[in-house]
Structure 1
Amino acid sequence: MGGDDLIAQTVLSSVASPGDAMRSVQEAQDGDVLGNYQLERLLGEGSMGRVFQARHVRLGRQVALKVLRPQHAQDVSFVRRFFQEARSVNQINHEHIVEIFDFVEEPQRGQVYCVMELLRGQSLASLLKEEKLSLERIQRIGVQVCAALGAAHAVGVVHRDVKPDNLFLVHRGGQMDFVKVLDFGVAKILTSEGTGNTLDGTIIGTPTYMAPEQAAGLPVDQRADIYAVGNLLYEMLAGHPPFQAPAFGQLVVQIITQPPPPLPDRLASGEPMPPALAELVLRCLAKEPEARPQRLEEVTTALLTLGSKPAVSLPVDDEEIPTRRTRMRPDAWWLNPRLPMLVGGMAIAMLAGALTWHGMEKLLESPAPAPVEAPAPVTLTVRTFPEGARVIRADTGEALGVTPLVKELPRADAALGLRVELAGYVPLERQVRLDSHAVIEVPLAKEKPAPPPPAPAKAAPRKEVKRDALIDPFAQ
C-alpha cells in the first residue's frame, strides 16, 4: 500500500481520539466478516491499514478489501484521506488504475474499508528485484503509467506517490505487463473544491521518489508526478533510483540540491542506452518544474518514438562499387578480352555518325541517380475504454487490429479515417494525421437497447347498425 510506508512530517492533528470502546477493537483478521465480505487471507499491510483477499458471502465474488487500522478509523484526517482515494479513482475511471467498487464507513464498529478489484500478478518493485528489464518492456510499462497519470491530471488529480510498489503488473487479454496504478491515498486534488486538504509545509509521499518541491514542503502540481516518472524510468534503466541515502535528511538534501548521476552507457539488461531516452529521463528529473516536460503526453511520445529508426544510407566505396565513369576508364579497357570487338563497334558507330565522342563523354560523365529513401514509418497507438474494439481504416476497410493497438504505418500528410467498433457499443469514427507518431484515446458509449416494436393497433369494434322501419307514405 503506497502511503502506508510514507515518511511524513505533518502538521495535521487528530480531531478525535479513540475511546475505551475503540481500544477494545481488534485488527481485522482472516475469517472475519466485514459487511457482506469474509476475509480470506492477508495480502499486505502498512502503517495505515491492511489489504485482504475477500469473498462476497452471498455472491461468491472475490475482491480485495483495504481496511483502515482501528486507531485511524476515528481520525477524521485519515478517514478523509482514505475516502479521497476512492473518490479520486472513481472520478478518473481509467483502465490502468485499480478499480474501487465501494467505500464503507462504520465508525461505531471501528471499521472503514474500500472494496477493490482483486489483482493477480506482482508489483513492479518485486519484478525489479527478480529481473533486469529490456528496453521494450521499459517502454511498454512507461507508456501505460503515463496514460494512467495523464488521465488523472486531466481531471485535476496529482498522485504524489508514484513508485514501483504502487505499480502492479498483471496479464490481461493476452497482454503481459498490463499496468495498474495503485494507492491514490495521498493524491492531491487541484480543483477548487478539493484544495485545502493538505496544509503547506506538509511532506507527504515516499522520500526516494519525491520531487524537490515536494521534499521541501512546497505546493505541487502534475509536474511532481512527471518527476516521479523520471525517477521510475531511471530505476528501471539503471537498476537503482538516482538518489539513495541512509537517512531521511541526507536524502532530502540530495534531492533538492544535487543533480542526478548520469545514466550508464548500458541498461541493467545489458542493452545499449539510447541517448534520447537518457536525455528524456534527465529532463524529467530537472530541479525546477519549468524545466521538465510540462505534460505527460510529451513523455509518452518520446517513449514511443524510441522504436522508430530513420532510414540509413550505406556509404558508397568507389573502388568496390564503380560508377559508370570508372567502369569505362581507358586504363581498364586494356584488361578487357573483348577489346577488339568494342573498338570495331565503336569505329562503325563513329563512321555512321550515330555517336560522337562528345556525346559519349557526356553519357559517361552523367552521375548515377541518387537512391530515394522511403520516409520512416510512424507509430499509431489507439486505446479504447473498454478494450477489445476493432480498429478499421475508413478508406480501405482494412482491419488494423484490436485495442490496445500499437501499429507502424507509412508516414503521410493526409489525415486517415479510423472506425472503432465493439459489440454492444456505439461505433465511432476518428481522424488522425500520420505525419508524426500519434496517440488517440476513444471512450465508447454503450448502445441503447432498441425500443420494442409498437403493438399492432386493435381494430375498432364494429357497431351494429339498426335500420329504421320503412315509412309507408300511403299508410292512413
Structure 2
Amino acid sequence: MKTCSACFRLFSHDSGFCPVDGQRLVPVAEASPPRHPEDRRVGATLCGGRYQIWRIVADGGMGRVYQALDLKVGRSVALKILHPEVALDEVSVERFHREFEVSASLPHEHIVEVLGFEKTEDHSFALVMEYLEGEELRTVLKRDKVLPPERLVRMLSQLALGLAEAHERKVVHRDLKPDNIFLVGTRDGDRVKILDFGSVRDNSAGAKKLTVVGTTIGSPFYMSPEQAQGLLALDHRADVWSVAAIVFECVTGRVPFHASTGPMILVTIMGSNPLPPSEAGKAYGVPASLDAVMEKAFMKMPEVRIESVGLLADGVGRAYGLAGSHRDWAYMPQDELAARIRAMLPTLLGRPPKAPAGAVHAGAGAVHAGAVHAGADGRQVVAVVAAPSPGATEAFTEDIVMGVPQRLPRWVVPAVAGAAVLLCALVALLISR
C-alpha cells in the first residue's frame, strides 16, 4: 500500500500520484499515520492491533468513519465506529450488529462488502467494510441539482440488481435515500454500492424483530405510506416507493413530498400526490412519458404499486426511449446510453403520435407510445405498454401496462388519513387516563 503525505489517503501499491493533492505517493512502510488533536484514534491501531487508522472520512449521527490499513492482509478498509454515547445504547448496538449480519449475508457487487464486526479498545464497536473512493448520491445532487438521464438509468439499473438480491431473501432496506447510495467512478460510468443495512426489516421466517409495531423507521422524505404508519405488513414495495422518490429528486431537483416538519411530511405522503415529474422538472426537460411510470410507483396501496425496483428501472429507461431492460443498461457505457437517449429525446419531448386502433402491442423488450386517453382530470395521458424484463418473476396486468391506473376517488386518501389521525388521538387519550 501507498499513502499521500498531504491528505494521508491510502492507495494500492501500483498507484503513482494522489488524484486529490497531486503528491507523489510513498509506501506506507516509509511513512507514519498522522495524529489528530481531537481524535486519539487517528494514528492508533485498534482491534488487537490489526487496524491502523490513517484519517477521518466522514461523521454521522451514529458514528464516525475512518480509512484504515488492515495490517493483517495489507489492504485499505473503512471502519465505522459508534460514537461513545451510542455505544452505550443496547438497541443501537444490536442494530449495528444486525447491519453486519445482514450485509455479510448479502454478498453482491452492488452492496457494500462488510468484512467484520469488532469491539474497540475504547469500549465502542466497529464495522469493518471495504473502502470505497467516490461520493454519495447526496453529494452529487447538492452540487449538480439533477442527474443526466443516462447517469440516472445506469445507476437505477445497478440499484435494482443489488436490491433484487435483498428482496429475494425478504430483506427490506427501509432507509433508501441519496445518502445511502454510493457512486464509484469508472471509465464507463458509475459503479453503485448500496450502504447502511442497519434499519432493515427482515421478513424471513424466524428473523429477530428489533422494531416495536407502530414504530416509524426511515427518512421521512423517502418513506412509503405503509412505512410512515409503522404497519406490520411492510415488504419490498416500501423500497420501491423510496427508490421512486430518489428518481423523482434526480430528475426534478426536488423531493416529491415536502413539509416543514417530519410529522407533516408523513401526513403529506399519506394524503396527497406529487406533481408529475414532467411538470416539476420542466426546467430540466423531463419527458411526459415518465409521468405514468412515477404515478404507478407512488400508488398509496402497495398492492397496485410497481412490483419491483427492476420493473421501475425498466419503466424509467423506456420512458427515455431505451429498448431492453435494466439488465442491459446496468453495465452499458454511460456515453452509449447518452447517445441512445439523445436520439429519442426530441421525439419524447414533442407531441406523441396517435397510434391506430388495435396497433398497440409489445415484443420482447419493446416499448410503444400508444393511444392518448383522457385522464380523470381531463388531461391527455399517453399509455406506455412495455414487455416484462427478462427474468422477471411474475408479470401481471399492472406490470405490463404502464399507463393510467384506475384512480381511487379523490376523497378516499384524505378520509383514511383523517380517520387514522383521529384514531391515534383517541388511543393517546385512553392511555393518558
Supply the AA of the counterpart residue of 1:213: E
TM-aligned CA deviation for residue 28 of structure 1? 6.0
Alpha-carbon contact 2:237-2:307 (below 8 Å) kept: yes
Rounded Cα–Cα distance in structure 2 between residues aligned with 1:284 and 1:412: 23
Equivalent residue for 2:56?
A: 42
Supply the AA of the counterpart residue of 1:147: L
Q: Which of 43, 51, 69 is 1:31 aligned to? A: 43
TM-aligned CA deviation for residue 59 of structure 1? 4.3
Q: Which of 67, 77, 80 is 1:66 aligned to? A: 80
Equivalent residue for 2:245?
A: 231
Equivalent residue for 1:248?
A: 262
Equivalent residue for 1:180?
A: 193
For normalisation by structure 1, the TM-score amounts to: 0.58
Alpha-carbon contact 2:56-2:67 (below 8 Å) kept: yes
Residue 197 of structure 2 aligns to a residue whose secondary structure is: coil
Equivalent residue for 1:202?
A: 215
Equivalent residue for 1:151?
A: 165
Residue 142 of structure 2 aligns to a residue whose secondary structure is: helix
Alpha-carbon contact 1:230-1:285 (below 8 Å) kept: yes
Residue 193 of structure 1 aligns to a residue whose secondary structure is: coil
Equivalent residue for 1:100?
A: 114
TM-aligned CA deviation for residue 117 of structure 1? 0.8
Q: Cα gap change, 1:248/1:39 in structure 2, threshold over 3 Å: closer, same or farther?
A: same
TM-aligned CA deviation for residue 262 of structure 1? 2.5
Deviations 1:127-167 (A, max 9, x none): 11222322222211111112211211011110000001111
Q: Cα gap change, 1:261/1:46 in structure 2, threshold over 3 Å: closer, same or farther?
A: same
Rounded Cα–Cα distance in structure 1 between residues aligned with 2:111 and 2:282: 27
For normalisation by structure 2, the TM-score amounts to: 0.64
Deviations 1:162-187 (A, max 9, x none): 00111111124x32121111111111
Supply the AA of the counterpart residue of 2:45: V
Equivalent residue for 2:275?
A: 261
Q: Which of 288, 303, 306 is 1:275 aligned to? A: 288
Rounded Cα–Cα distance in structure 1 between residues aligned with 2:195 and 2:106: 13
Supply the AA of the counterpart residue of 1:300: A
Alpha-carbon contact 1:27-1:70 (below 8 Å) kept: no
Larger Rg: 1
Rounded Cα–Cα distance in structure 2 between residues aligned with 1:62 and 1:89: 19
Q: Cα gap change, 1:379/1:191 in structure 2, threshold over 3 Å: closer, same or farther?
A: closer
Q: Which of 156, 165, 184 is 2:179 aligned to? A: 165
Rounded Cα–Cα distance in structure 2 between residues aligned with 1:299 and 1:215: 21
Equivalent residue for 2:419?
A: none
Equivalent residue for 1:130?
A: 143
TM-aligned CA deviation for residue 71 of structure 1? 2.4
Q: Cα gap change, 1:81/1:379 in structure 2, threshold over 3 Å: closer, same or farther?
A: closer
Supply the AA of the counterpart residue of 2:176: V
Alpha-carbon contact 1:27-1:69 (below 8 Å) kept: no
Q: Cα gap change, 1:64/1:268 in structure 2, threshold over 3 Å: closer, same or farther?
A: farther
Rounded Cα–Cα distance in structure 2 between residues aligned with 1:97 and 1:43: 19
Q: Which runs of 5+ in 1 are unaligned?
A: 1-25, 310-376, 388-400, 414-434, 442-476
Rounded Cα–Cα distance in structure 2 between residues aligned with 1:175 and 1:154: 28
TM-aligned CA deviation for residue 440 of structure 1? 5.6
Rounded Cα–Cα distance in structure 1 between residues aligned with 2:104 and 2:390: 24
Q: Which of 139, 142, 153 is 2:156 aligned to? A: 142
Please give the residue correspondences for 1:304-315 in structure 2 after superposition, counting only pairs within 5 Å.
304-308=317-321
TM-aligned CA deviation for residue 65 of structure 1? 0.3
TM-aligned CA deviation for residue 437 of structure 1? 6.8
Equivalent residue for 1:350?
A: none
Q: Cα gap change, 1:50/1:305 in structure 2, threshold over 3 Å: closer, same or farther?
A: same
Residue 394 of structure 2 corresponds to residue 381 of structure 1 = no
Residue 284 of structure 2 aligns to a residue whose secondary structure is: coil
Rounded Cα–Cα distance in structure 1 between residues aligned with 2:150 and 2:202: 33
Supply the AA of the counterpart residue of 1:280: V
Rounded Cα–Cα distance in structure 2 between residues aligned with 1:55 and 1:268: 47
Rounded Cα–Cα distance in structure 2 between residues aligned with 1:303 and 1:218: 28
Alpha-carbon contact 2:172-2:201 (below 8 Å) kept: yes
TM-aligned CA deviation for residue 62 of structure 1? 1.1
Alpha-carbon contact 2:57-2:66 (below 8 Å) kept: yes
Equivalent residue for 2:92?
A: 78
Aligned length: 306
Deviations 1:264-315 (A, max 9, x none): 34747733x2333221112111211112112223213223433547xxxxxx
TM-aligned CA deviation for residue 383 of structure 1? 9.6
Residue 194 of structure 1 aligns to a residue whose secondary structure is: coil
Rounded Cα–Cα distance in structure 1 between residues aligned with 2:203 and 2:236: 9
Deviations 1:50-84 (A, max 9, x none): 11111123544211001112223243211211111
Deviations 1:425-449 (A, max 9, x none): xxxxxxxxxx9574469xxxxxxxx
Residue 127 of structure 2 corresponds to residue 114 of structure 1 = yes
Rounded Cα–Cα distance in structure 1 between residues aligned with 2:259 and 2:173: 24
Rounded Cα–Cα distance in structure 2 between residues aligned with 1:100 and 1:378: 33
Residue 34 of structure 2 corresponds to residue 88 of structure 1 = no
Rounded Cα–Cα distance in structure 1 between residues aligned with 2:326 and 2:135: 29
Alpha-carbon contact 1:133-1:269 (below 8 Å) kept: no
Rounded Cα–Cα distance in structure 2 between residues aligned with 1:117 and 1:47: 21
Q: Which of 287, 302, 311 is 1:298 aligned to? A: 311
TM-aligned CA deviation for residue 27 of structure 1? 6.8
Identity of aligned residues (%): 33
Supply the AA of the counterpart residue of 2:327: T
Alpha-carbon contact 2:181-2:194 (below 8 Å) kept: yes
